[in-house]
Amino acid sequence: MDKSYHVVLMYGLTQLGFMFFFYPYDIIASTTEGHWFAITFGIAINMLIVWAYMKGLSYFPKQDIISIYLGVGKWAAILFLLPLVLFLIVVNIFTVRAFADIITLVFLTNTPMWAITGLLIVISTYIALNGVNAIFRTGLLLALLFLPLILFTIFISFQNVDFRYLFPLFNINFSFMTKPAYLQSFSAFAGNFLFLGFVQPYFSFSRKKVMFTLVALVPFFFLSVYLPLLTFGQATASNFKFPFVILVSTIHINWLMFDRVTIFLLLCLITFTMLFISLLLWEVSRILNRAMPKVKLNYYVIGVAAIIYGCCLLIPNWESIQVIMKWNMVFRFFVLFAIPFSILFIGLRSRRMDKDESV
């Protein structure tokens, strides 16, 4: 069954959940001028990686990446899937703890961290326990409810922009490529596309529509960075941990009955993030279930969720979250490059072997 629209919506929602919170700070911190080039370079790499990943998957219809690696051998499954499991768990820990911190900072300052973290985990786990179809149906519902609010928030964010902050445009310094902040910005890409290799046994999707979604998301990457820059300037925006959130909190609309537009943005993006967390939980549990099939899939979902919750409680502050993300950088780039291109290589090799056998 073709569910291309469900797939592209899921990809878009999970991408938006990360984009407006963490991506602007990383780009602004990595360079002081020519931000557009740093954004374009990262997007180009992301498009290449997603294309290679889907091209490789196209050689194995109705198979997920677990079956593809197992088809090569157990050594390939261990080599590629073990780092993937560790990466997905660490990303989930970071995501849950970081968004719990954001919720505390913005509007639940007196609520204990364990309660906010537990709420995020419980809702995400409940969605994951109902399977991939429930995750995608939830994604469709959230898209219908909250995408108009996201677009409205972006539109009114132009309220205080000063286009003089746009210049200089072409004073490009390539030193940003080696900055830790820029390397950290790839966390906005790594992890989002992986679910494409897990859903193939359940339904099919169009590669062209997914690539079109990537193109449609390009303006949002630029807006997430340039709206804070055009409002505050480089010197001021670089001091904020969440530049876009601070930007939205400065917006004032007389005819709106709510005082803080930030609440709309935050609630919308948190729902997208919980969807992302549930998807990662399901992916990790799928890998563990294939490794040890005697245990039911739902038990793995609950077990992994409990581990993530426990780890989140051990993280004391935002600085510790940043340290965890630095530790995860090796796994991030392994997943970002090794998995897509290894799937492409295995697919090309399989196609060549089939041709040789037919001759």
**pLDDT for 180-207, tens place per residue?**
888 888 888 877 888 888 888 888 788 8
Residue 255: which pLDDT band, with cuts at 50, 70 and 90? low
pTM of the model: 0.90
Biggest CA pair distance of the chain: 74
pLDDT of 252 strictly over 80: no
Give the chain's end-to-end CA distance (angstroms, integer): 33
3-class SS of residue 202: coil
Question: Hey, how many other C-beta atoms are within 10 angstroms of the C-beta on 84?
Answer: 23
Q: Which carries the bigger pLDDT value, residue 264 or residue 134?
A: 134
Average pLDDT over residues 317-343: 84
- Residues 38/182, Cβ–Cβ less than 8 Å: yes
> Nearest to residue 215, comparing CAs of 2, 10, 12?
12
Q: Please state, in angstroms and rounded to a whole number, the distance separating the CA atoms of residues 248 and 157.
A: 6
Tokens representing 242?
A: 């969440």
pLDDT of 318 strictly over 80: no
pLDDT at 48: 93
What is the average pLDDT score of the chain?
Answer: 84
- Residues 57/267, Cβ–Cβ less than 8 Å: no
Q: What phi and psi values does residue 260 have, to the nearest 5 degrees?
A: -115, 110
- Residues 228/91, Cβ–Cβ less than 8 Å: no
The radius of gyration computed from the CA coordinates of the chain, to the nearest angstrom, equals 21
- Sorted by sequence, the CB contacts under 8 Å of residue 155 that are 6+ apart come out as none
Task: Identify any residues that bridge with 313 across adjacent strands, giving them in sequence order.
Answer: none
Tokens representing 18?
A: 């990360």
Domain around 146: 4-358
pLDDT at 174: 75
Q: Please state, in angstroms and rounded to a whole number, the distance separating the CA atoms of residues 319 and 257.
A: 36
- The predicted-structure confidence for 267-309, as pLDDT tens digits, reads as follows 788 888 888 889 999 999 999 988 888 888 889 999 999 999 9
Q: Is 162 exposed, middle or buried (0-12, 13-18, 19+ CB in 10 A)?
A: exposed
Residue type, 323: V
> Nearest to residue 243, comparing CAs of 253, 229, 261?
229
Domain count, the chain: 1
The domain that holds 101 is classified in CATH as: 1.20.1740.10
